[in-house]
C-alpha cells in the first residue's frame, strides 16, 4: 500500500502520517517528489486496519494498494526514476552508460591497455572479474585481490569507474575497498545472504538476472538489497536459458519495456553473455539502445583468441570502437546520449 499525500503537503503533515503508520507497527519509505510525497508502507499489511486508521487524515490524497510483492523496487513506490550518481557518471539519466572490459582481469598489461582503449571509445566504467564464477572448478578462477588492485590501477590511470563481481558475502568488504559498483552474477541472483550483505553497503549494485529467473524473481532479488537499506540497484538482463542452443543464452530484449513499466530502477543489457558470439554482440547492443536501455556491459579483450575466459564473445578494440560510434548515432535518434 502507498499513501499519496495531497500536493505540496508540509513536512509536519507527512511526519504525522508516518508516525501513525509506525504506531500501527509498519515500516515506511518516503519518496519526496517536486510536488508529491509518497509514503510507502512496508510489512505484512492488515489493509482494513490501515484504511480505517488513516481515514481521518485530510492531508492524505489517497491510499493505493500495491498488488506486486516487490515494494521498494515498485514503480508506484517512487514518483521518479532512480538515478545513480558515481561522481560524474550518471546511471538512469539521459546518458546510456557503457561499461566495458575483459571477462577476467588477467594481467597488468591486459587490463591497463583495455581500460585505455575502452575509455578512448567512450566507455565510462571498466568491467573485469577478479572472482570468476566458472562452470568448471578447473578453469581459471580469477586473480582475486591482485586482480582488484590491477583494476584500481587501471581505473586511476584512466578515470574510469569500476564494476566487478563479488561472489561471497565474506568478500563484500574486500571487494568494496576497490570497486565503485558491485556486480552480483546471474548464478548468485538468489543468494540472499549475499544480497543482504551488499544491501548494507552504500555502493551501487549491478544485479544480473538469473538464467532461469522471472522478472518478478529479479525484482524480488532487488527488493532484498533495497530492504537492507541500499536503494542503488541497477538491473541487468544477460540472457536466459531456453531450448535454443545456437546462442549461449536467449537475450530477452522485451525485458527493457517490461521492467521500465514495473520499476523505477535503471536497466542494463549484457549483449556478450546473452549471445556468446562476438559477431552477435553489436546487433544485440543496437537493439537494446533502440529499446530504451540505460546502459550496456560489454566484454572487450586485447586478444580475444588468447583470453582466459569468454574470448569467443569478446570484442577486439577496433570492433568495440566501431560499435560505439554506431551506438552513438542510434542513441541520438531515441533522445539519449553516449
Ligand atoms: C560476468 O559478467 O563476467 C559473468 C560471469 O556474467 P553472468 O553472471 O551474467 O554469467
Ligand atoms: Mn564473461
Q: What is the pLDDT of residues 157-216, one digit of tens each?
A: 999 999 999 999 999 999 999 999 999 999 999 999 999 999 999 999 999 999 999 999
Residue 135 CB neighbour total at 10 angstroms: 7
Mean pLDDT taken over the chain: 96
**What superfamily does domain 2-65 belong to in CATH?**
Phospho-2-dehydro-3-deoxyheptonate aldolase; domain 1 (3.30.70.1140)
* C-alpha cell recorded at residue 160: 574510469
CA distance linking residue 173 with residue 157, whole number of Å: 24
Ligand 1 atom closest to Cα of 104? Answer: 3
Name the pLDDT band for 132 (thresholds 50, 70, 90): very high
Whose CA is closest to 2, among 44, 52, 37, 49? 37
Other C-beta atoms closer than 10 Å to the C-beta of 273 total: 24
pLDDT at 222: 98
Nearest CA to ligand 1 atom 10: 186
Per-residue cell: 83: 538515478
* Terminal Cα-to-Cα distance of the chain (whole angstroms): 38
Largest CA distance in the chain: 69
Q: What is the pLDDT of residue 43?
A: 81
Count other Cβ atoms within 10 Å, centred on residue 69: 11
> Ligand 1 site: residues with CB under 6 angstroms?
103, 129, 133, 185-187, 208, 238, 270, 273
pLDDT at residue 183, rounded to an integer: 98
At 295, list the grid cell: 546502459
Q: Which of 284, 297, 299, 298 is nearest to 330 (CA)?
A: 284
Ligand 1 atom with least separation from CA of 103: 3
For 252-268, the pLDDT digits (tens) are: 999 999 999 999 999 99
Q: Where are the domains of the chain?
A: 2-65, 84-333
pLDDT reading at 44 higher than 90: no
Same CATH topology for 2-65 and 84-333: the answer is no
Cβ partners under 8 Å of residue 65, min gap 6: 1, 47
Interval between CA 240 and ligand 2 midpoint (Å): 15
For position 32, what pLDDT does the model report?
A: 86
Angle at 124 between CA 193 and CA 134, to 5 degrees: 40
Predicted TM-score (pTM) of this structure: 0.96
Is pLDDT above 90 for 47? no
- CA angle, residues 134, 138, 140, in degrees to nearest 5: 60
Which of 106, 129, 175, 208 gets mutated to test ligand 1 (max ligand atoms within 8 A of its CB)?
208
Give the 3-state secondary structure of residue 81. coil
Backbone angles phi, psi at 335, to 5 degrees: 75, 25
Residue having the nearest C-alpha atom to atom 9 of ligand 1: 186
Band of residue 34 on the pLDDT scale cut at 50, 70, 90: confident
The class level of CATH for 84-333 reads alpha beta
Let me know: does 41 contact 4? Beta carbons within 8 Å: no
DSSP letter, residue 186: G
* Ligand 1 pocket mutation pick from 182, 189, 273 by most atoms within 8 angstroms of CB: 273
Question: Of 183, 281, 311, which is best to mutate to test ligand 1, by the most ligand atoms within 8 angstroms of its C-beta?
Answer: 183
On the question of pLDDT at 117 being above 90, the answer is: yes
Q: Is the pLDDT of residue 45 over 80?
A: no
Does residue 291 surpass a pLDDT of 90? yes
Amino acid at each position: 500500500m502507498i499513501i499519496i499525500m495531497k500536493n505540496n503537503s508540509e513536512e509536519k503533515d507527512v511526519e504525522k502520517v508516518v508516525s501513525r503508520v509506525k504506531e500501527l507497527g509498519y515500516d515506511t519509505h518516503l519518496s519526496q517528489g517536486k510536488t508529491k510525497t509518497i509514503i510507502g508502507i512496508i510489512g505484512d499489511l492488515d489493509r482494513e486496519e490501515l484504511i480505517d486508521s488513516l481515514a481521518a487524515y485530510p492531508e492524505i490524497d489517497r491510499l493505493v494498494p500495491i498488488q506486486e510483492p516487490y515494494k521498494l523496487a515498485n514503480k508506484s513506490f517512487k514518483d521518479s526514476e532512480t538515478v545513480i550518481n558515481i561522481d560524474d557518471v550518471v546511471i538512469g539519466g539521459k546518458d546510456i552508460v557503457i561499461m566495458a572490459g575483459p571477462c577476467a582481469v588477467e594481467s597488468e598489461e591486459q587490463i591497463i591497455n583495455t581500460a585505455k582503449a575502452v575509455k578512448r571509445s567512450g566507455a565510462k566504467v571498466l568491467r573485469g572479474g577478479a572472482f570468476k564464477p566458472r562452470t568448471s572448478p578447473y578453469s581459471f578462477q580469477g586473480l582475486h585481490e591482485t586482480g582488484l588492485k590491477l583494476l584500481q590501477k587501471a581505473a586511476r590511470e584512466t578515470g574510469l569507474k569500476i564494476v566487478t563481481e563479488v561472489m561471497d558475502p565474506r568478500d563484500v568488504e574486500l571487494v568494496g575497498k576497490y570497486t565503485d559498483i558491485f556486480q552480483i552474477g546471474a548464478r548468485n541472483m538468489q543468494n540472499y545472504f549475499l544480497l543482504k550483505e551488499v544491501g548494507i553497503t552504500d555502493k551501487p549494485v549491478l544485479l544480473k538476472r538469473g538464467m532461469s529467473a522471472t522478472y518478478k524473481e529479479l525484482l524480488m532479488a532487488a527488493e532484498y538489497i533495497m530492504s537492507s537499506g541500499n536503494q542503488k540497484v541497477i538491473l541487468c538482463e544477460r540472457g536466459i536459458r531456453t531450448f535454443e542452443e545456437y546462442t549461449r543464452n536467449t537475450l530477452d530484449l522485451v525485458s527493457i519495456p517490461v521492467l521500465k513499466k514495473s520499476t523505477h530502477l535503471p536497466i542494463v543489457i549484457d549483449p556478450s553473455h546473452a549471445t556468446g558470439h562476438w559477431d552477435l554482440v553489436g546487433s544485440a547492443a543496437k537493439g537494446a539502445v533502440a529499446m530504451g536501455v540505460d546502459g550496456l556491459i560489454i566484454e572487450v579483450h586485447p586478444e580475444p583468441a588468447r583470453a582466459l575466459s569468454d574470448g569467443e564473445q569478446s570484442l577486439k578494440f577496433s570492433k568495440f570502437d566501431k560499435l560505439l560510434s554506431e551506438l552513438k548515432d542510434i542513441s541520438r535518434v531515441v533522445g539519449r546520449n553516449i
